[in-house]
Amino acid sequence: MVRIFRRRRITDARVLLVALGLALSACAQRPAQDERLYRELGEQPGITRIVEGMLLNVAADPRIFRHFHDVDIVRLRDRLIEQFCAESGGPCERGDSVQHISEGLGLSPADFGALVEDLRASMDAQGVPGPVQSQLLARLAPGRGDVVGR
């Protein structure tokens, strides 16, 4: 009789360990991404308008338009939408890296500053509040080194 209880405790302990392991692995899953910034930017349609507005601003900007003369603008548009969506916490898959998309542009720090101004102007035109703009720019800022001088 004692032997049966011991086996049952061992089996119960194994079941408990397996259940605990499964519970801990579920807790270790990547937490849900904060989509607040994504929503504040207007989700996919809003981000699309922001990127398209920025590219129109770039095309009219005498300081930097020459850098984009030989660029596949549709591809650039699509990659920037993916990047902005992902960086803002949206449910988007990221395509090519910023480094890959900006190869051959040859942007100087001043050119990059002009590009940021064109982005800000687009966000202003879309009615994106200043603090929301700053949040997006802060998330994009680490990619500056991948763009300047490439």
> Tell me, what's the pLDDT at 47?
97
What's the whole-number mean pLDDT along residues 27-49? 78
Between CA 41 and CA 124 the distance in angstroms is 11
pLDDT digits (tens, 9 = 90+) for 63-111: 999 988 888 899 989 999 999 999 999 988 766 655 555 555 678 889 9
Q: What is the CATH number of domain 36-147?
A: 1.10.490.10
Short-list 121, 141, 132, 145, CA closest to 60: 121
Task: Name the amino acid, one letter, at 146.
Answer: D
> Tell me, what's the pLDDT at 144?
76
SS3 129: coil
pLDDT confidence bin for 26, thresholds 50/70/90: very low
**Based on C-alpha coordinates, what's the Rg of the chain?**
24
> Tell me, what's the pLDDT at 3?
59
pLDDT confidence bin for 24, thresholds 50/70/90: very low
Helix (H) or strand (E) holding 74: helix 73-87
Instruction: Round to the nearest angstrom and report the end-to-end CA distance of the chain.
Output: 77
> Tell me, what's the pLDDT at 92?
81
> Tell me, what's the pLDDT at 143?
76
For every residue of 49-67, DSSP letters joined together read HHHHHHHHHHHT-TTTGGG
